[in-house]
Amino acid sequence: MILDSKIPEGPLAEKWSKHKFNVKLVNPANKRKYDVIVVGTGLAGASAAASLAELGYNVKAFCFQDSPRRAHSIAAQGGINAAKNYQNDGDSVYRLFYDTIKGGDYRAREANVYRLAEVSVNIIDQCVAQGVPFAREYGGLLANRSFGGAQVSRTFYARGQTGQQLLLGAYSALSRQVANGKVKLYPRTEMMDVVLVDGKARGIVTRNLITGAIESHSAHAVLLCTGGYGNVFFLSTNAMGSNVTAAWRAHKKGALMANPCFTQIHPTCIPVSGDHQSKLTLMSESLRNDGRVWVPATKETADKLRKGQIQANDIKEEDRDYFLERKYPSFGNLVPRDVASRNAKYVCDEGRGVNETGEAVFLDFRDAIIRDGKNVIEAKYGNLFDMYQQITGEDPYKVPMMIYPAVHYTMGGLWVDYNLMTNIPGLYALGEANFSDHGANRLGASALMQGLADGYFVIPYTIGDYLAQTPSTKIASDHPEFQKAEKEVKDRIQKLLGIKGDKTVDHFHKKLGKIMWEYCGMARNEEGLKKAKAMIKELKSEFWSNVKVLGENEELNQSLEKAHRVADFIELGELMVDDALNRNESCGGHFREEYQTPEGEALRDDENFAYVAAWKYLGEGQEEELVKEPLKFENVKLTQRSYK
């Protein structure tokens, strides 16, 4: 199988402009003849649905929440990148492109990343026009702050709630189209399968989460904007409802899953406090602008701290190790997330962790408060400090925050070409659901940028190229392929309900999460990955013979919802392990312990692994087939990443 990424010819800076001119168009009168399904209404889904409806297409938008306002995009805190160079500090479209390619450890497509940087400047204008209340400087210009992996200030923000404000902007645009009758919204509805007719995506099968009704919806194209799969680890910063089911159903229908082992560990999360937790809380990376990361310089001091014999503020300056500033003087606390996370793990493994479990480091604002005053810090981060105090009971204005890495974002996802189409004609993936822009490690504040770029500025052009070549004839939702898919969904539901085992769905999810975190988390090695694969196979067998799913289908049944999602997570977990085993190198968030530099940094193997690993599903119980898309670098030089 050969993958055609459809990257346009010509110089990098001209590819997107030329492509927009060369794609086929659907004239305004014909757009109203086409139906488009959008699954997911976060930043990518809401912006895509609103934009396509504005163009004249008939859109059906589906979300499992009661409102698009509850999409997990709301949880993003720190900001959104754009190369506007308001700070006049040397930023440019090319520098944003370069930082993103480098940050992703040279495992992303040049053309996609350059386009992302190019349209980033338009996103800010779009959002300001929608009323997003970005922070502003005294003179009225939009303010910027720094994020990890960059030496310029290019991150636009709305205090610590940027995701929420951007989502409200997209939601207002979506609501306008709902009121106009161009978008039909289906809340509390979950996609259970994608339907192919003559090899093309022509609709989906859904389950109404209130009544349990199984329904079919047909369209000319299907857009999956369903986010990432970080909850495969059980504990993550994702909302508890975030899942992989839509993407995994598409994968089992033939869509390739690319780079699934590329998951991002965020360095700035509130540490795990016990087995009672169902999720972890993210503290924005923007805090690393002013907060200094440190641990005691010696294990002995850390022991006293953990035993309560001394407090953090008792430790003298010379007895503190600001390990990121020491190891990476050029970037300091603003190194990329994978580097910051691994180094936090190293110092905790040495026995210098600062909480009772020994798995935490300090993020200290003492110096910033002395330098700028409490009022300035409160204006920048007040809601984040309040959130931390409510969760931990400690006042970060007076004592250092405690943080530790946690699973956050997934760079892997459905394989897509330059047009954001999967290898299944008519099936698109946008935002975190695809693999395309972040390589092996996403820079902070780039998720919001990609989701809105895909929805507002990419898909409106590229979907027209496909629809212009697709007859406007509609397919009835009682077509045999829809009936077949509905039967498969109903059979799967009955199978789950009929097991009547004695272990809860959460029991299996927690077990899977522990396997994934232990053996395919911040660090991996061949022995551990092989062990994990065997353990996941065993877990899958136990799940399908001993899971306890309460209730019936014809009702609100969250036990059944979870069972579907966890069944898919188990299968995804096995593929993630296979992908990590296949990639005999370290890059970005994928850190194989066998492959590291003498300084403990990720050691790539560009000669053998400069490719996208796209996996093809071959059937139940069969090993998946690896399909490679070679990555060509014509504009950047492949170098060992250094932030020193």
Q: Which of 69, 337, 524, 583 is catalytic?
A: 337
What are the distances in angstroms from CA 608 to CA 239, 244, 530, 576, 632? 37, 29, 21, 19, 13
Active site residue 159: no
> Residue 484 corresponds to which tokens in the numbers above?
């077949």
Phi, psi of 529 (to 5 degrees): -65, -40
Dihedral, CA atoms, 13, 15, 17, 19, nearest 10 degrees? Answer: 180
Q: Report the distance separating Cα 244 and Cα 231, nearest Å.
A: 8
Q: Report the distance separating Cα 303 and Cα 316, nearest Å.
A: 15
Q: How many helices (H) and strands (E) does the chain have?
A: 19, 19
Amino acid letter, 199: G
Closest listed residue to residue 95, CA positions, set 35, 136, 149, 173: 149
Q: Report the distance separating Cα 452 and Cα 459, nearest Å.
A: 10
Q: Buried b vs exposed e over 429-458: b needs ≥16 C-beta within 10 Å?
A: bbbbbbbbbbbbbbbbbbbbbbbbbbbbbb
Q: In the 8-state DSSP scheme, what is residue 433?
A: G
Q: Which residues contact residue 394 at a Cβ distance below 8 angstroms, ignoring those fewer than 6 apart? A: 388, 401, 402
Q: Which residues contact residue 545 at a Cβ distance below 8 angstroms, ignoring those fewer than 6 apart? A: 499, 501
Q: Report the distance separating Cα 118 and Cα 115, nearest Å.
A: 5
Q: In the 8-state DSSP scheme, what is residue 443?
A: P
Phi, psi of 191 (to 5 degrees): -70, 130
Q: Just list the catalytic residues.
A: 337
